[in-house]
Amino acid sequence: MHIKTNDIVEVIAGDDKSRPGNVVRAKVLHIDREAGKLVVEGINKVYKHVKRSQKNPQGGRLSKEMPVQISNVQLVCPKCNQPTRTGVRVNENGSKDRMCRKCQSAMGQISPAKKK
């Protein structure tokens, strides 16, 4: 899994899937690696019904984002601006970078160089 917080992703499956003409792209807010889910800004919104309380004197319906499966989104390359699969490139010093499979550009470091 090569998606990090604040990455831009495109929804490729589910109710919020892109339709021809309007592409749904948004920022990743939170990742739960154990469950294999992530929260994306503005995607998979649900209403939570809230009872009146001192914290929320109005009560009513609160709109919030729920987690989506990681397999339902695809990372968007910042350089070529295309949804793409990612790969790993090992540098000469032993550090690992994420790379775009379409344009072969680096998308950030995964792990630092190993000490000898």
pTM for the model stands at: 0.81
Given pLDDT bands bounded at 50, 70 and 90, which one contains residue 51? very high
Q: Give me 86's structure tokens.
A: 């990612």
Q: Across-strand partners of 99?
A: 87, 106
Q: Which CATH class is domain 1-76?
A: mainly beta
Is the Cβ–Cβ distance between 5 and 38 less than 8 Å?
A: no
Domain parsing of the chain, residue ranges: 1-76, 79-116
CA distances from 100 to 29, 36, 50, 65 (A): 21, 21, 43, 28
Distance, CA of 114 to CA of 51 (rounded, Å):
53
Q: What letter would DSSP give residue 70?
A: G
What amino acid occupies position 9?
A: V
- Helices and strands per DSSP (H, E), number in the chain: 0, 10
pLDDT in tens, 54-109: 988 988 998 999 999 999 999 999 999 999 999 999 988 889 999 999 999 988 88
pLDDT in tens, 73-86: 999 999 999 999 99
- In degrees and rounded to multiples of 5, residue 101 shows phi and psi of -75, -20
